[in-house]
């Protein structure tokens, strides 16, 4: 699925950056981030945890649909419970994370997710696993993911210079691509070898490993200063949440990126909320075949990670952002035509996931780097939280819509509805100044704006 301030002389936070200008002269070539020890640890942590998460993405819906024989609406609710925390907790989490060091939060969230996931194989071994426990685990891991994701996107600008953000975000897509290539196949294979609930243990172990790796980061992170109001008193969380909302909604670039991403996520959430029933029950595909198709299709993520920066340099960052979003709708639409023929269905799944992976990475690398580059460090947490609130807040809504539609109309028509919604997402970007961006700004950020 798809998913910051320029310095000013006046000492106040600007609500909208000026479009970046062309550099005045040549810039010396910077050393690769592979020589940045702390970044390599963050990269390694992402590699391990993303691989484990790919296993759960196959295993948990399979447990609900096949092991527990849940109905289409019950399976769709898995996504609702997992993403609901982004609506309820994202904004206060962002405000709180702008007050604290982010690294301890990342470590605690990883360890917490490991503990929550470990309850699934435990309950299954005792014969007490229910759909309600899957909902509870989904909500708990979703809540911890809120804090992890907001802290993680806000932590990268602490480790890296602005001119390294595109490279840093692009390189973080390499483990994502590796996980999407290897993870589904591993997940499908594990389900074939052991009971699906026991495959979840691999994901729990991956979060433990990720937390350990992040704890080894050496760079000292300064504790953010608590912002004071005009009268010298401490600002409240509510005031800081409002400031983050105003920053994003008052910026023509950020609010249109948020609207476009939210629309795309709404459409894809409708599709994937009923996909387990569509694939495993209606089409009769096995977890191994679905994992194989998703794995091969994941090569698109790797290609996107390699080409995201070169594409933006060649056609401009704005064109890369808009063009990749335009291609998302057709990529999802391919799934409408999955036939009962296993070979053809797997081939089309590969094509759909390849294109979705490629476009999502090109889009995310460029728009996230742009957001990080234009936002001051002191409001990074609230900017990212507000964006998460908007763009991931549509995911539980999409899951509910998909579950309701899938209960009353054919599943294939439900997929079509989701594809059409996702296909309209690029219109927001066409109506915004994003399309005119030539490059990601690299001017030094001010902590005050």
CA 4 to chain CA centroid, Å, is 18
SS3 breakdown of the chain: % helix, strand, coil, rounded to 5? 75, 0, 25
Q: CA-to-CA distance for 426 and 69, rounded, in angstroms? A: 37
Q: Are 442 and 163 in contact (CB under 8 A)?
A: yes
Q: CA-to-CA distance for 200 and 69, rounded, in angstroms? A: 18
Q: CA-to-CA distance for 271 and 416, rounded, in angstroms? A: 8
Q: What pLDDT score was predicted for residue 19?
A: 41
CA 8 to chain CA centroid, Å, is 31
CA 23 to chain CA centroid, Å, is 31
pTM: 0.69
Q: CA-to-CA distance for 357 and 167, rounded, in angstroms? A: 18
Radius of gyration of the chain (CA): 21
Q: What pLDDT score was predicted for residue 14?
A: 33
Give DSSP secondary structure letters for 264-292.
HHHHHHHHHHSHHIIIIIIS---HHHHHH
> Distances in Å between the alpha carbon of 383 and those of 261, 353, 372?
15, 29, 9
Helix locations, 375-440, DSSP H: 380-391, 394-408, 411-423, 426-430
Report the SS3 class of residue 19. coil
> What sign does the dihedral 88-90-95-100 (CA atoms) show?
positive
Q: CA-to-CA distance for 54 and 76, rounded, in angstroms? A: 18
Report the SS3 class of residue 374. helix
Q: CA-to-CA distance for 71 and 282, rounded, in angstroms? A: 12
Q: Are 133 and 119 in contact (CB under 8 A)?
A: yes
Q: What pLDDT score was predicted for residue 229?
A: 57
| Buried/exposed 40-50: b ≥16 CB within 10 Å, e otherwise | ebbbbbbbbbb
Q: Are 179 and 53 in contact (CB under 8 A)?
A: yes
Q: What pLDDT score was predicted for residue 130?
A: 93
Closest CA to 385 of 76, 23, 33, 94: 94
Residues 6+ apart with CB under 8 A from 243: 235, 379, 382
Residues 6+ apart with CB under 8 A from 251: 15, 16, 17
Q: CA-to-CA distance for 181 and 197, rounded, in angstroms? A: 21
How many other CB atoms are found less than 10 A from the CB of residue 392?
26
Pick the CATH number of 33-220+245-436 from 1.10.10.10, 1.10.760.10, 1.20.1250.20, 3.40.50.300: 1.20.1250.20
DSSP single-letter state for residue 16: S
Q: What pLDDT score was predicted for residue 232?
A: 55
How many other CB atoms are found less than 10 A from the CB of residue 287?
24
Q: Are 301 and 361 in contact (CB under 8 A)?
A: yes
Q: For the chain, what are the domain ranges?
A: 33-220+245-436
Longest dimension (CA), the chain: 70
Q: Are 320 and 362 in contact (CB under 8 A)?
A: yes
DSSP single-letter state for residue 230: T
Q: What is the pLDDT along the chain (449 residues), one digit of tens a residue?
A: 454 322 222 333 333 333 444 444 444 566 778 888 888 898 888 888 877 787 787 788 888 888 888 887 888 888 788 888 888 888 888 888 878 888 899 999 999 999 999 999 999 999 999 999 999 999 999 899 888 887 887 788 778 877 787 778 778 767 666 666 666 666 666 666 667 788 888 889 999 999 999 999 888 877 766 665 555 566 777 888 888 889 999 999 999 999 999 999 999 999 988 888 888 888 888 877 887 888 788 788 888 888 988 998 899 999 999 999 999 999 999 999 988 888 999 999 999 999 998 999 899 989 988 998 888 877 887 888 888 889 888 888 898 899 899 889 999 999 999 999 999 999 999 999 988 888 877 654 443 33
Give DSSP secondary structure letters for 167-217.
HHHHHHHHHHHHHHHHHHHHHHHHHHHS-HHHHHHHHHHHHHHHHHHHHT-
């Amino acid at each position: 699925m798809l998913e910051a301030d320029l310095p000013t002389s006046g000492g106040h936070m600007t609500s909208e950056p000026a479009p970046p200008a062309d550099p005045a002269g040549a810039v010396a070539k910077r050393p690769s981030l592979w020589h940045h020890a702390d970044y390599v640890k963050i990269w390694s942590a992402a590699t391990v945890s993303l691989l484990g998460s790919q296993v759960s993405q196959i295993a948990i819906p399979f447990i609900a649909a096949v092991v527990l024989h849940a109905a289409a609406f019950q399976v769709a609710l898995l996504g609702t419970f997992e993403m609901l925390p982004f609506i309820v907790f994202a904004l206060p989490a962002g405000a709180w994370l702008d007050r604290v060091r982010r690294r301890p939060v990342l470590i605690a969230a990883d360890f917490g997710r490991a503990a929550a996931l470990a309850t699934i194989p435990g309950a299954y071994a005792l014969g007490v696993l229910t759909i309600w426990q899957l909902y509870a685990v989904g909500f708990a891991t979703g809540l911890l993911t809120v804090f992890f994701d907001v802290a993680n996107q806000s932590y990268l600008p602490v480790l890296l210079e602005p001119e390294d953000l595109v490279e840093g975000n692009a390189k973080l897509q390499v483990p994502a691509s590796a996980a999407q290539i290897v993870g589904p196949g591993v997940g499908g294979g594990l389900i074939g070898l052991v009971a699906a609930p026991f495959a979840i243990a691999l994901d729990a172990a991956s979060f433990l490993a990720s937390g350990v790796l992040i704890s080894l980061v050496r760079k000292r992170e300064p504790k953010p200063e608590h912002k004071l109001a005009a009268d010298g008193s401490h600002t409240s969380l509510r005031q800081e949440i409002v400031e983050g909302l105003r920053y994003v909604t008052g910026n023509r670039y950020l609010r249109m990126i948020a609207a476009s991403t939210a629309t795309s996520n709404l459409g894809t959430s409708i599709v994937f909320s009923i996909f387990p029933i569509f694939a495993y029950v209606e089409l009769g595909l096995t977890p191994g075949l679905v994992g194989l198709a998703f794995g091969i299709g994941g090569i698109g993520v790797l290609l996107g990670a390699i080409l995201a920066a070169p594409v933006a340099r060649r056609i401009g960052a704005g064109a890369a952002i808009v063009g990749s979003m335009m291609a998302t709708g057709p990529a999802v639409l391919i799934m409408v035509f999955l036939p009962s023929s296993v070979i053809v269905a797997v081939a089309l799944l590969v094509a759909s996931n390849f294109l979705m992976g490629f476009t999502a990475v090109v889009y995310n690398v460029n728009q996230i780097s742009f957001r990080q580059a234009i936002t001051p460090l002191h409001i990074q947490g609230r900017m990212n939280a507000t964006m998460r609130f908007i763009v991931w807040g549509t995911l539980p809504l999409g899951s509910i819509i998909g579950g309701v539609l899938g209960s009353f109309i054919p599943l294939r028509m439900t997929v079509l509805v989701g594809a059409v919604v996702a296909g309209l997402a690029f219109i927001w970007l066409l109506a915004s100044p994003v399309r005119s961006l030539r490059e990601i700004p690299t001017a030094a950020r001010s902590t005050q704006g």
